[in-house]
Chain A
Amino acid sequence: MKLQEFMTTKIEFVDADAPLYDAIEKMVDRRIRSLVVRFPGKNASDCGVITARDIVFKVLAKGANPKNIKISEIASKPLACIDRNAEFKEAAKIMEDTNIARIFVCEQDKIVGVVSLIDLMDAALIMRARGEDVF
């Protein structure tokens, strides 16, 4: 099964120079767990990512004030990217090998989607229901 079948296309961006609190507000309002971080003058392959996990463990759990921290300070770079025509198995392998929870789907120099662990689970369940080999 191709990634484009089950990827999520809802992607939100934040600027690297913005305060971390902006990112937190966006994640709460939009009910999402990660944001793509845009660095000025860079293209998609140079984007970063910030997750709820980063915010909780790198900032809030340490008692730091998210209003005084820039997003760029805790964002992870570079993004893990994969082609939209890649197969489910490829994404699963990269995520397992690199221990990441989401992988971004890129087309040329544009991010067109994201595949998270829950998307992989959905895809695996659909493949089982269709009688296809999962792994």
Chain B
Amino acid sequence: MFFKKIFSQYNKEQKVIEGIKRHIRLLCTACDTFKTALENHDLKLMREVFDIEREGDVIRREIISDIYQGAFLPYIRPDLCIFVELVDRVFDLIEDTAFRYLDVEIPEEIKGECLRVAFLNTRICEMLLITFEAMLKGDDLREKTLAVRIYEKKIDDIKFVLIKNVHKIPISNFWQGKSLSELISGLTDISDIIEDASDHLQIISVSMR
């Protein structure tokens, strides 16, 4: 209710909230672009993830600067900034993972699992947006954060299968192996940070009661 009340009255706060929504929506776009590029082995599309990340950086800077120009009461500013920074970390990780993808061919043995993780990343990202919107409405976030945790656990389960399977793949040189390992880590760590971000929304929501 707190946000809802603020919304109708103050312009600065509304600008920040709209910025955060835009930031998360853009993150969903980044995840979706990554997934489509992976599905179609489209390197040109994969490079678009870099542009999306840069756009994400611009939005992050705007949000942080708007917050410290006086939006919201001082006690809540650090928590909002942490949330924005967590979303930004996901952007960075997607960018790194896209970069790794350009470096290395995903072996057929693990392609299916990688695609599943990329798909689930898009879903968990949508869930983060739903959670944020629920917080603005003053809804209880318990069900939303549980859904995020379920997605994260599913991705974790696939991660263990991926690690097991990747050990069976012959690697011809060190750098190829390193890139493949970093690609898998990046792909499967995205959900961890989104989970942290969703937990942080819960903290913000509780602190405003």
Chain A residues close to B by CB (< 8 Å)? 5-6, 8-10, 122, 125-126, 128-131
Task: Tell me if B150 is interfacial: C-beta within 8 Å of chain A.
Answer: yes
Contact B147 A125 (CB under 8 A): yes
- Give complex CA distance A131, B143 in Å: 10
Contact A129 B157 (CB under 8 A): no
A–B Cβ pairs within 8 angstroms, 11 of them: A8-B157, A9-B161, A125-B146, A126-B127, A126-B150, A129-B143, A129-B144, A129-B146, A129-B147, A130-B130, A131-B130
> With contacts A5-B123, A9-B161 known, is A126 near B112, CB below 8 A?
no
Q: What's the minimum C-beta distance from B14 to chain A, rounded to whole angstroms?
A: 24
**Using a CB-CB cutoff of 8 Å, which residues 126-172 of chain B contact chain A?**
126-127, 130, 143-144, 146-147, 150-151, 154, 157-158, 161
Question: CA A128 – CA B73 in complex, angstroms?
Answer: 33
Query: Do residues A129 and B161 form an inter-chain contact, with CB atoms below 8 A?
Result: no
User: Complex formed: what's the CA distance from A125 to B150 in Å?
Assistant: 9
Interface size, chain B (Cβ < 8 Å) = 19
Interface string of B30-42 (1 = CB under 8 A from A): 0000000000000
**Chain A residues closer than 8 Å to B116, beta-carbon distance:** 9
A106 shortest CB reach to chain B, Å? 15
Chain A residues lying within 8 Å of B150, measured Cβ to Cβ, are 122, 125-126
Do B151 and A126 have beta carbons less than 8 Å apart? yes
Nearest CB to that of B151 among chain A residues? A126
Closest to A6 in B: B154
Q: Does B113 contact A (CB under 8 A)?
A: yes
Residues of B within 8 A of A130 (CB): 126-127, 130, 147
Q: Which residues on the B side are within 8 Å of A9 (C-beta)?
A: 112-113, 116, 158, 161
Taking A125-B143, A125-B147, A130-B127 as known contacts, 7 extra A-B pairs with beta carbons closer than 8 A to each other, sorted by chain A number, are: A5-B123, A122-B154, A126-B127, A126-B147, A129-B144, A129-B147, A130-B147
- Assembly CA distance A10 to B119 (angstroms): 17
A114 to chain B, nearest CB (A): 12
B154 touches A128 (CB 8 A): no
Q: Are B154 and A129 touching (Cβ within 8 A)?
A: no
Provide the residues of chain A in CB contact with B126, threshold 8 Å: 130
Bound CA–CA A75/B123 (angstroms): 36
